[in-house]
Structure 1
Amino acid sequence: MRGTRSSVFPLLLAAGSAQAVTPEDCASFASRLSLPNTTIHETTFITAGTNISLPDNHPSCAIPFQISSVDICRVVFVTTTGPTSNISLEAWLPSEWSGRFLGTGNGGMNGCIKYGDLNYGATHQFATIGTNNGHDGTSGAPFLNNPGVIEDYVYRAVHLEAQLGKEIAQQYYGKEHTKSYYLGCSTGGRQGFKEAQSFPEDYDGIVAGAPAFDLIALMYWTGQLFLKTGTNETSRFLSPAEWELVYADILKQCDGLDGLEDGILEDPSLCQYRPEGLICADGSSDGCLTGEQAATVRAIFSPVYGLDGQYIFPRLQPGSNATARLLNGQPHQYPLDWWRYVVYNDTNWDLSTMTPEDYAVASKQDPWKVSTWEGDLSAAKDRGVKVLHYHGMQDNAISSDNSERYYNHVSRTMNLPSKELDEFYRYFRISGMAHCRDGTGASMIGGNPETFASYDPDANVLAAIVRWVEEGVAPSFILGSRLTASGEIDLQRKHCKYPTRNVFKGQGDPTKPDGWECV
């Protein structure tokens, strides 16, 4: 079975017939466009199939070009946010417009416009906008002694993209947008929740994947992983081959908890992994761990605590391969940059010295509430905003346990059970998905162009949020797919709405969704 492109265009066009514009409309747009504190660099008509060179994009963003799949008017501009801060933005305005607006997010600590997401939105007939998050490149160095740039990163860039993007669409097409949506993962997921928490008027529907919320705690946890593993010169360090032993042992102990041993943990929260079974017997040294290494493994799969036993961040969930990204014995850039350029303004600060006191200092600062951990979404609920939250159960950058933790935090704060949260906020656990994409399971759910398999609202989170907002049909599952190199579907699964989880029925084809049920 090949990955379907079954049309969701009837859904996408339900708000009204797509409005067509001409190349001449785009060419003259720069002279007509008026925005406060903003400089328009270009308005260029791009025909479908054009390879757009991006020579001004920061090299660390690693996006030298982007092919446009449809005819668009590309608007490139900069808006000034303060005496030492500004935001670079791009709007891609498709010639065939459904009337919908789409804001996109960023990743990591970076200031990189996600051009693939711009094209993804425009292809689906959204007027789509993205920003550089207030700085260029993947480093946090621009934060140094520059609170304006930090403010852009925390909330202002994504908030302004909503305001400016809607105004650009209105001026270009000559009419107001019908509905507005947001799509982001990782930092983009955090930005989506920042919008829901602080600016619910910006969007009617928000898709937030693998959110980097409780951000300061997340970065402290990431830094602590380095301190727990040590460098490759320490006796407690595990080599990649030794971590492979651990991953195989996790599957041996926990894979069958969902009713099927298929190499995928449907619900890692059920896995209470015990690494001590890998400790070498007397005289052995191959295919096993020392007691000290087993202690390292147990520390990695345990929560992080701070001063006076304060709970800071959950464990790395079992079932993901995080060796290259988190367990490589090297200081991670994000905590290093945050404490150097934001917390202490000290470029010589050394991550190897990180202590709970450092977390306490950073947590107290929490500039512009960058943690994004507000549990009260009442304003979003009252406005009718819909939030679709997802997280991969093989995430190798942000523990998926943190998404479960936030959902329950909202439930307690708002005094709402899941049945009532379902009216506006739903969380889906995506088994077999790594960080925002990839993984060994049915991770193709349409959260970004890299995870696109279908336009069907049952199988595409962007189409699902549109249907929920405009037709009132809330998603009860997300149908994920896994594709072979030739584009054939070899695995599909209906990912469950939390707090339910997938369990194999014990009969039927386990590669088909009907072999599983949410319990």
Structure 2
Amino acid sequence: MKRLFLASTIVATWASLGAQVSARGLPPSGVAPRASCTALTGLTLPNTQILSATQKSGYCNVVGIINKRVSTQDPDHFTYGIGFALNLPNTWHGRFEMMGGGGTDGSLNADPQGAAGVELGEGWAVAADDGGHEDNATNAVGGYQDDDANAGGSAHFAIDAQARSDYGYNGIEKTATTAKQIISYFYGLDTVYSYIMGCSNGGRDAMVASQRSPWLFDGVISQNPGFNLPQAGLAEAWNEQVLGTLSTSKDVNGQPFIPDTFPVQDLQVASAAILSACDALDGLVDGIIDNYHACTAKKVTPALASYTCGTGSHGSTPHGGTCLTKPQIDALKKIYAGPVNSRGERLYSNWFWDAGIWTPPTAPGAGWQLWNVVTAPVPSVNTAINLTLGAGALPMIFQTPPVVTPVNGPNGQEAFVFHFNFDADAPKIFTRAKAYPESSMDFMAAIATDLRPFRARGGKLIISSSVNDGIFSGAAIARWYRKMNQRMDNRATDFARLFMVPNMAHCGGGAATTSFATNELKAITDWVENGIAPERIVAANTNTTSPYPAGGLFDPRVAMNFPTGGTRPLCVYPKIPSYKGSGLTSDAANFACVDPGFKPGGDHDFHDDDDGRGDDRH
């Protein structure tokens, strides 16, 4: 293996290039490669094949695979390996970013530009991986595929124990380590600052890295993290079974047809009812419930009662766009309370009530309705994400050993969701077996609260989360943060900060201020490199008109005060934005971050260790 330059040589090497830097400083004028891009195909690294190295406009694109193998455990004997891509700018400024994955991974971003979309253009080296398996035989990694429609579909990889570990944590660690070795060779310098940024499963990747590999990254941005994904998978099954009780027809697989249970007009009614109960709690009626902790079931239940068809004050015609039926309201209460077993023991978290249950057509996003219902149905086909992506993950990835099912048919993945047993099946997220020595919670979860190793090495963590994005409970991440803060001697804000985003759909979209990725990136680099901790992150809304109707079900002030085309601050949890009382409501400068006075207890904070073992009473 060609010699890699050690950290002790950095200062001398930069000095020879005419850059005046310290051992942890960035080269102010950047560094050029010391070798040609194509020469990287000859670089020898342990258990790694570099498949291509292509010079593009402004950067070198490297694609390779780590630990390529043919599985002996998979009955199909598919090929597995950690596919990766690394972009190396012609002028490098010392920073490296690992991009997190998404969903069940299996698709390599072969030309990674950066999670915020600007990193490569600003001189960062950027890497991505495929999670240790591939869903597409024509991918850039080498022409293999790990899907079997008759045995788990895109989640088939979970039949292989090593592929499970690669997906859960190993892919990120191996790719980042390999990428840093290539960077050191290519530029003759070690990486100065390392970051990871991702959303959803990529947010989980980021939190896992801070807990499992605290030495790997200086800065971590975790967005909408599935930090306890197997538990959230239990909630997916719970929600669909609850909605299934409202169904009046079957889909092509013989399962309850869900889209008709909550048509889009009904979700709009639900959003209006929740806003009527809680919008004013933060001092401004604007369609955004910033004081989400105060929006308890005790406040929402009377509002829902007033919108009940026939007995409330908003009409009597079911699905007429003015009221909800009592069974619909009962279903919402059961869903928002969270899944339990037959003994009433919690299996996941409850949920914050949030106006984002409805996704306005002018503010699209993968919010509550897309995860749970979908309101533009394909006839007789369930297309809710819980019943497509989620239905594959629940039996194959979250259960140990995996329950091998075909994708479709009367005994397929949907049937598994609708017949999931919360007494017998839910504990299997903790099961280990001889052939599968790690449970899904072992290889996937990022629920540890002892972050002392990460803090000790100077790491910084920013988490941003929707209050309720339909798949991951905002109440769960808020509760984890409070518990972590307690474990860290109530000094969590020294190195980790949480920012909550009301109304935001999963990883963006919805009637919310969702555009803040570049500001988040600046916040983490300022914190890591300059010691400036973020007190607020400014977020923008890109709607040119209010996504809420100006009247009808909604208070007219909702459309009037919504920050159309403007900005709002995201505040360090548990602080919330508070309008100062004058100036445009679309200008973040007119809002202060204030302590809402949240106290532990009540229906947003139960006695719970958040491990999903069903040992906490509902």
Contact 1:207 1:389 in 2 (8 A): yes
Q: 1:18 to 1:105 in 2, by over 3 A?
A: farther
Are positions 1:46 and 2:40 aligned together?
no
- Are positions 1:337 and 2:392 aligned together? yes
Give the one of 251, 256, 275 matched to 1:251. Answer: 275
Counterpart residue type for residue 51 of structure 2? H
Query: Of 369, 379, 393, which residue of structure 2 is paired with 1:323?
Result: 369
Q: Distance in 2 between matches of 1:107 and 1:145?
A: 19
Q: Is the 8 A contact 1:72 1:92 kept in 2?
A: yes
Partner deviation per Cα, 1:309-338 (whole Å, 9 max, x = no partner): 332222343221311222346552344223
2:34 & 2:183 partners in 1: Cα distance? 15
In the other structure, the counterpart of 1:29 is 40
Residue equivalent to 2:266: 242
Instruction: Flag the structure with higher strand content.
Output: 1
- Aligned partner of residue 425 in structure 2, secondary structure: helix
Q: Which amino acid aligns with 1:290?
A: T
SS in 2 for 1:25: coil
CA distance in 2 between partners of 1:429 and 1:260 (Å): 17
Equivalent residue, structure 2, for 1:214: 228
Report SS of the residue matched to 1:19. Answer: coil
Corresponding residue for residue 453 of structure 2: 379
Query: Corresponding residue for 2:156?
Result: 142
Tell me the CA shift for residue 20 of structure 1.
4.6
User: Is residue 97–residue 114 contact of structure 2 (8 Å, CA) maintained in 1?
Assistant: no
Q: Distance in 2 between matches of 1:391 and 1:466?
A: 19
> Which deviates the most, 209-218 or 120-129?
120-129
Partner residue of 1:50? none
Structure 1 position 489, deviation (Å): 8.1
Question: Which structure 2 residues correspond to residues 374-453 of structure 1 after superposition, within 5 A?
Answer: 374-393=448-467, 395-414=469-488, 416-417=489-490, 420-446=491-517, 452=518
C-alpha separation between the residues in 2 aligned to 1:358 and 1:371? Answer: 18
Q: Is the 8 A contact 1:81 1:148 kept in 2?
A: no
Deviation of residue 399 (structure 1)? 2.0
* SS of equivalent to 1:191: helix
Q: 1:345/1:21 Cα in 2 relative to 1: closer, same or farther (>3 Å)?
A: same
Contact residue 219 and residue 334 of structure 1 kept, 8 A? no
Q: 1:500 and 1:44 mapped to 2: Cα distance?
A: 48
Change beyond 3 A, Cα 1:300–1:18? farther
Q: TM-score, normalised by structure 1?
A: 0.84
Q: Secondary structure at the match of 1:428?
A: strand
Following superposition, the deviation at residue 177 of structure 1 comes to: 1.0
For the pair 1:159 / 2:173, whether they are aligned, the reply is yes
Counterpart CA distance in 1 for 2:50 and 2:307 is 61
In the TM superposition, what whole-angstrom CA distance separates every residue of 1:365-416 from its partner, at most 9, and x where no partner exists? 43434122111111101111111111123523322222102101212333x2
Letter in 2 for 1:90: A
The 3-state SS of whatever aligns with 1:338 is helix
Query: In the alignment, what sits opposite 2:431?
Result: 364
- Tell me which amino acid in the other structure corresponds to 2:114: D
1:18 shift after superposition: 4.0
Query: Which residue pairs with 2:537 in the alignment?
Result: 478
**Aligned twin of 2:114:** 117
Structure 1: how far apart are the matches of 2:240 and 2:123? 44
Q: Pick one of 251, 259, 284 that aligns with 2:316.
A: 284
Alignment partners' CA distance in 2, 1:167 and 1:493: 41
Q: Is the 8 A contact 1:493 1:511 kept in 2?
A: yes
Shift of 1:294: 1.4
Alignment partners' CA distance in 1, 2:431 and 2:343: 16
Q: Is the 8 A contact 2:33 2:187 kept in 1?
A: no
Which amino acid counterpart does residue 102 of structure 2 have in structure 1?
A: G
Decide whether aligned partners of structure 1 residues 169 and 18 sit closer, same or farther in structure 2, where only a CA change above 3 A counts. farther
Bigger CA radius of gyration: 2
CA contact (8 A) 1:319 1:393 kept: no
Q: Structure 2 vs 1, CA of residues 422 and 392 (structure 1 numbering), >3 Å: closer, same or farther?
A: same
TM-score under structure 2 length normalisation:
0.71
- State yes or no: 1:93 paired with 2:93: no
Report the Cα offset of residue 183 of structure 1. Answer: 0.7
Number of equivalent positions:
467
Cα distance in 2, alignment partners of residues 422 and 144 from structure 1: 37
Structure 1 unaligned blocks of 5 or more: 1-12, 48-70, 447-451, 453-459
* Aligned residue type for 2:461: V
**SS of 1:269's equivalent?**
helix
CA 232–241 in structure 1, closer or farther in 2 if over 3 Å, else same:
farther
Say which SS state the counterpart of residue 312 (structure 1) adopts.
coil
Question: Is 2:61 aligned against 1:74?
Answer: yes
Give the 3 Å change call, closer, same or farther, for CA 387–22 of structure 1 in structure 2: closer
Amino acid at match of 2:274: I
1-structure distance, mates of 2:105, 2:544: 30
- The amino acid of 1:73's aligned partner reads C
Distance 1:278 1:268 in 2: 21
| In 2: Cα distance, 1:123 partner to 1:288 partner | 50
Structure 2 partner of 1:294: 329
Q: How does 1:485-496 map to 2 (within 5 A)?
A: 490-496=565-571
Structure 1: how far apart are the matches of 2:133 and 2:525? Answer: 31
Q: Which runs of 5+ in 2 are unaligned?
A: 1-23, 72-79, 137-152, 250-257, 359-367, 375-381, 406-410, 433-438, 546-562, 595-618
Aligned pairs for 1:45-64 (under 5 A) are 45-47=55-57
2:350 equivalent to 1:355: no
Work out the CA distance in 2 between the residues paired with 1:202 and 1:155: 12
- The aligned residue for residue 54 of structure 1 is none
- SS for the counterpart of 2:332 is helix
Separation (CA, whole Å) in 1 of partners of 2:208 and 2:135: 22
SS in 1 for 2:26: coil
Q: 1:378 to 1:507 in 2, by over 3 A?
A: same
User: Is 1:16 matched with 2:82?
Assistant: no
Distance of 2:417 and 2:530 partners within structure 1:
50
Matched residue type, 1:514: A
Relative to structure 1, the CA distance from residue 24 to residue 383 in structure 2 (aligned partners, 3 Å threshold; closer, same or farther) is: closer
Report if aligned partners of 1:232, 1:239 keep a CA contact under 8 Å in 2.
no
Query: Judging changes above 3 Å, is the alpha-carbon distance between structure 1 residues 27 and 106 closer, same or farther for their aligned structure 2 residues?
Result: same
Aligned to 1:346: 404
User: 1:342-372: CA deviations, max 9, x gaps?
Assistant: 3233214621111212111223343434122
> For residues 212-236 of structure 1, what are the alpha-carbon distances to aligned partners after superposition, in whole Å with 9 as ceiling and x for unaligned?
0111111111121111111742699
Give the Cα separation in 2 of the matches to 1:394 and 1:213: 15
Supply the AA of the counterpart residue of 1:298: K
Aligned-pair CA distance for 1:83: 4.6
1:44 partner letter: T
Q: Deviations over 1:473-502 (max 9, x none)?
A: 11111011123569x982111211011111
2: CA distance between counterparts of 1:133 and 1:281? Answer: 52
Alignment partners' CA distance in 2, 1:505 and 1:164: 50
SS of the aligned residue for 1:306 comes to: coil
Structure 1 CA distance for aligned equivalents of residues 528 and 26 of structure 2: 11
Secondary structure in 2 matching 1:28: helix
How many Å apart are 1:299 and its aligned residue? Answer: 1.5
